[in-house]
Structure formats: C-alpha cells, structure tokens
Structure 1
C-alpha cells in the first residue's frame, strides 16, 4: 500500500482510495475506480451502512490537483465532489430527494442488489424539496489501490473498518484485502 503525495493530472487521481470526514461528522470511503466509475461505502451520517460499486460518474480535472466528480444515483440522489488531495480536503454537495431524507433506511444496503427498490421508492415517495447537504471534508486516508481493483469496496461497512484501513490492517502491500 503506497501513499500518493502529489496529484496533478487525472492519471494521478484515478485508482486512489480515500477516506474522508465531512465537517458535520459524516464519514465516507470513496474509490476512483477508473475514468468513469466510482465505488463507495458510507460509515457515518444519515445513510451510514450504505455501499455501492460500479457507480457511473463524470470524473474531470478542473485544474492541476483539483478534480470534480458528479453522478446521479438510482435513488435520485445527485452528488458533486471537488477533491483537492494535495491539500487533504474536498468539498461535497449531496442533493438527497425528500424520500431519502424521510426514509434513509431504505437505502442502507448494498445498492447494486436493490436497484428495483430504489427506483420503486423514487416513484412511490416525494422527491421534492431536495435535502441539500453542502460540506467541506478532511481527507484522513489516501491509498494507491490501482484502477479497477474490485477488492477495495467489496463488503458492507462495519464498525471500526476505517480505523483498520488507516492502520494497515485491512489491505496488504499489494492492496488486496487481508482475510479475517
């Protein structure tokens, strides 16, 4: 597992695994899987326990060392993240539909296995007004997982997982999951 120190171009950013904590205390884990796909786990906040793989996203370099990622989830949630890894910061805006804000428990699952439920809920419940969460975050971990590494986000989050990752107890030197 190697730490990336300098980010300039998109190639420096892709394949990086991050853990960050928003100023409101919500903790997220996020992986730039490739130039059009992201994986993530949510460890704290309104939808803690949710995890997603192979989310299609738009990933661009805004300027040297600054990257913008945007996507829309099957829930109808829109996300915009501005990563500034050289500064150890990011700014995110999450646009939760009204139904997710009122029924977050529906989304706390491995989304990929429940797309139909997300789409049904999006139709069944109210979408507006959106619950908008704009927050700065501090990056607490950056690891060079390499692109298209399906072991990075491969199981549900558990209590203490992010501490295990930061302590080097979750991945081996080749960024493969250590079997427990």
Structure 2
C-alpha cells in the first residue's frame, strides 16, 4: 500500500470502532472483545488457558485490511503478543496469540495472569521480566462470532465486570 488513497482506506475504522464481539475459537476458548476506539480495546477471556482474565484500555494498532476486514495487534505487559483478523461480514475471526514460556510453556504459570490486569500492571511486568520468554508458544485459531453489535466508542458499560458473571446463554448470542 503505497498511495495516500490506500492509507486513507486502511485508516478508515468507522465500521469497526465501537463494535462488541463475542466469539468461540475452534479449540473451545471463549472470548469477548470490544473495539473501544481506533487505538484501544477491551476484552474478557471466559474460557481457555487464561480464562478469567480481563483487560480494559489495552493500546492496539488497527487497520482496515479490506472492505469489512479489520486487523488489530497489541503487545501486553505480560509479554504476550496478539494479532486478530476480524471478517465482520462472514462473522469469522482468526487470532494468533504469542504466549511467552512463563505463561504457556510446560510447567509454567498462566494463573498468574488471571485477574483484572489493569490493577496488576507492575506484577505483569515483573512476571514478564522473570520469564522465561522464549521460545514463544504460538497458537493460531479460527473463531466463530456468536454476537456482534456496535455499542458506540468509549462505552465503559461494555466490558465492565469480570468474566463468569454473565448469563449461561451469553455465548449463544442471546
């Protein structure tokens, strides 16, 4: 993408910002994600390796990759890197999570990250620095979106409580 027109297209996030997604990965992990604005996201992890974790105001990079297809990437204080591709028309997500060894390696401690991260940033940095980090455990998965609604940008009511406090039919899109 070398032209101004392409850059303008890539930076047009108007169809994406404010959208709240609920989805389940093919491996059974259940997530919820909200495009708070053009450079910040919120999320909750309901089931999976770090189920119970939740984060608000996570800085991210976002672009429109193609019409209705958006890509976001971020690096967490834990050392985890995340890349998500949202195909909002087909209601499909492809996510790749790059977990450091201290979280996902054999005999390590994912439970240390299961919290409201915003209240434990210094701890996350300490765990990251204590490591080990390498080799990263790379987990690429497709996910099916079961709920998608634009809740408007910077809506503090979307991701506002820990996972596990939602109705049992939440992941069925109800």
TM interval, shorter chain, is: 0.7 to 0.9
Q: Secondary structure at the match of 1:12?
A: coil
Q: Secondary structure at the match of 2:169?
A: helix
After superposition, the CA RMSD in angstroms is 1.3
1:39 and 2:42 correspond: yes
Measure the CA separation in 2 of the matches of 1:162 and 1:84. Answer: 26
Q: Secondary structure at the match of 1:38?
A: strand
Paired position in structure 2 for 1:140: 146
TM-score (norm 2): 0.88
Larger deviation: 68-77 or 117-126? Answer: 117-126
Unaligned runs of 5+ residues in structure 2 are 1-11
Asked if the contact 1:19/1:162 (under 8 Å) is kept, the reply is: no
Larger deviation: 157-166 or 85-94? Answer: 157-166
Runs of 4+, deviation exceeding 6 Å:
none
Paired position in structure 1 for 2:24: 21
Asked if the contact 1:89/1:137 (under 8 Å) is kept, the reply is: yes
**Deviation for aligned residue 1:72:** 0.1
Measure the CA separation in 2 of the matches of 1:148 and 1:75. Answer: 24
Paired position in structure 2 for 1:114: 120
Paired position in structure 1 for 2:159: 153
Measure the CA separation in 2 of the matches of 1:29 and 1:141. Answer: 9
Unaligned runs of 5+ residues in structure 1 are 1-8, 168-180
How many residue pairs get matched? 159
